[in-house]
Structure 1
């Protein structure tokens, strides 16, 4: 019976974010379990890595929030579902979820969503718009933090006939494995980024947006120098401004004010994150708003790197505080500076022990195989298989 399951995942764009990689991983897991796997998307960088013999791609403008296009997508999905005889439609974002909802109502197919983030809900209309993620037969929360967020903020939209459950997001532990790092690629990156190997390297992956907390990070580095008299370090900020020129200027002005321009390296993009992580002695995530999951924290631990993260959202679930990493108060750069100082004082063996605990933690709880298996089992329950 499982061989008859046909799953259509719908996502705006197939990029390298957490929702997108989760969609990609599940899409390739399903054919290995005798299922038909389809993705509807408008495009994205990850498309070129999709194995076309396993996963069928259908291009539609599902990234659009234009009401006319959303209605058009509803009817196009209606015909796709009937033509392909789809059993489950799994929406991973709000705009396409509305289109999926309508098409599933018309076809009588099972509608599933994954609630990936906290989403903005400053107005009642916005909260109503977000509530589409709870109008499915099954809503998957990627962390306990998101599960609690839904219950606290969307209780009136929860239907006891529908199911809400936690399935932790996972990462590919073969891809994020320090044993699989190419020395050639690592040395190439060291050369390209102008990394000085005799210095303690602090890696901060995160696109340039205010809620990622770059300003707190820079203040912490200044404290590291002024209060703790540490100078033998370099920091790499890895992430694109994505057109946020005003915020980028603010961050660069702050760096100049603290005279840190020779300490900080800006890298726009890296298409090999495991190799990037391998260059860091410690990885930092400074979000000032809760992360739904905290992918950087998980990837860093998988790569056996100590992680320092703000004590918000999903990171509180993924990090074993003072064992596989360290949590600090999100608005306290002084505490962040103090933790960085302590880690700089530790020897390589101690840092490696922390890293080993991190990988063990991720293998136990955040393996992509577990995520895919749990989702597949949830599909079967919805279909009474």
Structure 2
């Protein structure tokens, strides 16, 4: 998809808005877990540092704090995961103190609850405010759309896919002139089969106790119902073959009850020992090298969905559900297969089709899939486009 950027980004590319200098940016989010929102914050912080600008990230902490600091950026611990209105109000004062202490010139919020505090702090200090609209955000009770509206309130509103761009335009038409579409990107150096040593692959195989011989089905994604782990188990139970092993990879994030439910479903389906829940994996590039097919069976539309992109970069065939961001990143019938959400029979059939690919077909797919990703979904392109948004807001002050 070549038409990637819209809104104020297109105006700037046309020369209507001059580029300013890069500001000192504070990125605000609840925590630094292992998700796509968090990974993007790390990548942008690293890009700012590489451009010679001090970068700051504030959250309650998490796995990726080390990555922020390793990139040369600063992490500031604040209680930003709270949704308590009184604590959110106190966070306004805390954020203003951070802004003043570190000479922050632009605030970028990546999640709803802390965004409310961040907007108030930015406005009080007279700073530009940027949001990244990175989800469809449910509206299942009164007032929820107003709560979600904070993510469309930025001086620039970044949509991380064309799917999200359209979602924002439909729900918040007044944000259209401030909307910029910048797809999420991945590091093609990290996700490169040639850069993954055999020792790393063996280490993951040993940790997962991978048996010799059977093909591997891989489903990465945090353990939450809408990601579709249960849907996948139902599909695997429908398959005519049992000569495979499936690894469900992802952090349960305290969802012990859901994990127990999944384990019971696996056992009831007669898939014990065949389908395994292995938790978080720090070396996903090596994990992809073990896979014969990667499955992304989300039941709800992904705003972007980095799993199919990473898998294609690693030359692996992908089976994903036909909605949301997945429609933008897969080429159906060429780099992967799309199936209707919740259609157990279709998912089972698609996985079996992918497992039947011979060595020649896989070898042909790999470079094509990687080139497809390299054309659009790189971290360098994402970071450069984000920094341009920062520059233009500074120029327009």
Going from structure 1 to structure 2, the CA distance change for 1:4 and 1:181 (only over 3 Å counts) comes to closer
CA deviation string 1:160-187 (max 9, x = no partner): 6x50111000011111111111211211
1:20: which partner in 2? 38
Over aligned residues, Cα RMSD in angstroms? 1.9
Cross-structure match for 1:88: 106
Superposition pairs for residues 160-309 of structure 1, below 5 Å?
A: 163-225=178-240, 230-309=241-320
Say if 2:387 is the partner of 1:376.
Answer: yes
Equivalences, count: 378
Which residue in 1 is equivalent to 2:363? 352
Is 1:138 the counterpart of 2:138? The answer is: no
SS at structure 1 position matched to 2:342: coil
TM-score under structure 2 length normalisation:
0.90
* TM-score under structure 1 length normalisation: 0.93
2:144 corresponds to which of 117, 126, 144:
126
Equivalent residues of 1:325, 1:354 under 8 A apart: no
Equivalences for residues 327-342 of structure 1 within 5 A: 327-342=338-353
In the alignment, which of 60, 67, 73 is matched to residue 91 of structure 2? 73
Distance in 1 (CA, whole Å) between partners of 2:138 and 2:86 is 23
**Is 2:78 the partner of 1:63?**
no
Gaps of 5+ in 1: none
Secondary structure of the residue that 2:64 maps to in structure 1? Answer: helix
Any conservation in 2 of the 1:14–1:41 contact (CA below 8 Å)? yes
Q: Is the 8 A contact 2:60 2:80 kept in 1?
A: yes
2:23: which partner in 1?
Answer: 5
Q: For 1:171, what is the secondary structure of its paired residue?
A: coil
Residues in 2 aligned to 1:280 and 1:45: alpha-carbon distance in whole angstroms: 25
Q: Does the 8 Å CA contact 1:3/1:35 hold for their aligned counterparts?
A: no
Q: Secondary structure at the match of 1:265?
A: strand
**1:317 and 2:328 equivalent?**
yes
> Are residues 1:32 and 2:43 paired?
no
